[in-house]
Amino acid sequence: MENILRLDNTKRSCFHQCPRKYYWQFRRNLRSISGSTALRYGSTWHAALEGYYRFIQQHGWDFTPELLVHVASEASKEWKAQEQYLSYPYLDYRTLDNCLLAFTEYINHYSADRNYLEIVEVEKVFEIPIYTTDQNVPVAYFTGKIDGLFRLNGALWLFEHKTTSQSLSMQMARIQRDPQIIGYSYAGHRLFFDEVDQPQGIIVSTHHLSSYKSKKTETWGSPKIEFERRPQIFTQGDYDSWLDSFIYTAEAVAKAQLFDHFPMQFDSCYHFGKCSYTDLCEQNANPDNAITDGFVEVPPWEVEKT
């Protein structure tokens, strides 16, 4: 088991984008000290909601000052935890203050949750063996952490939280083909396969945050904050197609690690902007000997230690 690949969605997606990026991010565990405000905000938003739902799970739906203090504390801790790796963070409208403002709007927007939502589990970690033809030895373990397991009007649902600066209509269209959402739904299907009470599917709860920057003052305006939840139910055919894709990537990752060969994927260098590792790749040197000024080594996330 120890020698079998463990692959979560972030690693799978990263390798698919570029094997060399996978090397920098998950073999060398390097992160740019400039950081990403989108990732920092998303991580803080998740911490706020995790703190919120754990508090409700333990104390019930009676909102108290302690609840808001607890959520603000959890969000602040995550914001500062990300800050230790960011020596030169790029600053925009995705701030801690706007995250806390969005949270207050979130609980008001979904105030009716107290009437029909029951929190069963928060942050459900999973590790599922994925097989090909040999049912005794998995090709890899699919790992991850589902944001929540809730009951809505008595029916069990998986919950996944997303943040975006793009339009909600575009994001809602994407989630129907999002490999993470299909994979997490598949994980829920596997986890509860022998249970009478199985999840109906997965509900994606998306938070939109955006703002416009004044060309005259160079300052950001008031944030635009929106929310939407949309259920996703997948068929066995969807799961089979996802498995084919996952196994294909897992075998490629295993081969790259076996031969220590992580070639560059040039199509991804400036896809949706400049890749944060481009400066390392442009040294045209053996990646093991690359000068990593401007990067910091971060501890990897490992499901078995969660």
Query: How many beta carbons lie within 10 A of that of residue 290, not counting itself?
Result: 19
For residues 250 and 15, the answer to whether their CB atoms sit within 8 Å is no
Q: Token match 């939840």: residue?
A: 229
Domain count across the chain: 1
Q: CA 74, CA 63: separation in Å to the nearest integer?
A: 17
Average pLDDT over residues 132-140: 83
pLDDT (tens digit per residue) in 202-251: 999 999 999 999 989 989 999 999 999 999 999 999 999 999 999 999 99
For residue 90, pLDDT over 70 is answered with no
Q: Examine residue 299 and state whether it is found in any structural domain, yes or no.
A: no
Looking at per-residue pLDDT, the higher value among 300 and 49 belongs to 49
Residue 103: both structure tokens together: 């949270």
- Mean pLDDT estimate for the chain: 91
Q: CA 187, CA 39: separation in Å to the nearest integer?
A: 24
For residue 1, pLDDT over 50 is answered with no
Report DSSP letters for 110-153, one per residue: TTTHHHHEEEEEEEEEEEEEE-SS-SSS-SEEEEEEEEEEEEET
Q: Examine residue 298 and state whether it is found in any structural domain, yes or no.
A: no
Calculate what percentage of the chain has a pLDDT beyond 70: 96
Q: Examine residue 196 and state whether it is found in any structural domain, yes or no.
A: yes
Q: Examine residue 303 and state whether it is found in any structural domain, yes or no.
A: no
Amino acid occupying residue 78: E
Q: Examine residue 125 and state whether it is found in any structural domain, yes or no.
A: yes
* CATH number of domain containing 126: 3.90.320.10
Query: How many beta carbons lie within 10 A of that of residue 256, not counting itself?
Result: 18
Q: Examine residue 160 and state whether it is found in any structural domain, yes or no.
A: yes
pLDDT (tens digit per residue) in 260-287: 999 999 999 998 788 999 999 999 889 9
Burial class (CB in 10 A: 0-12, 13-18, 19+), 241: middle
Lowest mean pLDDT among 8-22, 241-255, 282-296: 282-296
Q: What share of the chain is helix, strand, coil (3-state, %, to 5)?
A: 45, 20, 35
Q: Examine residue 304 and state whether it is found in any structural domain, yes or no.
A: no
Q: CA 51, CA 68: separation in Å to the nearest integer?
A: 10
Average pLDDT over residues 179-183: 96
Q: Examine residue 275 and state whether it is found in any structural domain, yes or no.
A: yes
- Band (303; pLDDT cuts 50, 70, 90): low
The boundaries of the domain holding residue 160 are 6-289
